[in-house]
Amino acid sequence: MDRLTDVLTALSHPSRRDIIRRLAAAPARFTDVARPLDVTLNAVTKHLKLLERAGLIERERRGREVLISLRPEPLRLVSSWVHEYERFWNQRLDAFEGYFRRMRGKDAGHTRKRRTKAAQKKEANR
The residues of the shown chain that bind another protein, judged by CB under 8 A, are 4-5, 8, 11-12, 23-24, 26-27, 58, 60, 67, 69-73, 75-76, 78-79, 82-86, 89-101, 103-104
* Minimum gap (Å) between residue 19 Cβ and another protein: 13
- Alpha-carbon distance 48 to 37, whole Å? 13
Instruction: Please give the single-letter amino acid code of residue 38.
Output: D
User: 47-62 as b/e, with b when 16 or more CB fall inside 10 Å?
Assistant: bbebbbebbbbeeeee
Nearer to another protein, 39 or 94 (CB): 94
Taking the complex as a whole, how short is the minimal distance between the CB of residue 115 and another protein, in angstroms?
17
Closer residue to another protein in complex, CB, 84/123: 84
Q: Find the length of the chain.
A: 126
Give whichever of 31 and 99 is closer to another protein, judged by the CB atom. Answer: 99
**Maximum CA pair distance of the chain?**
76
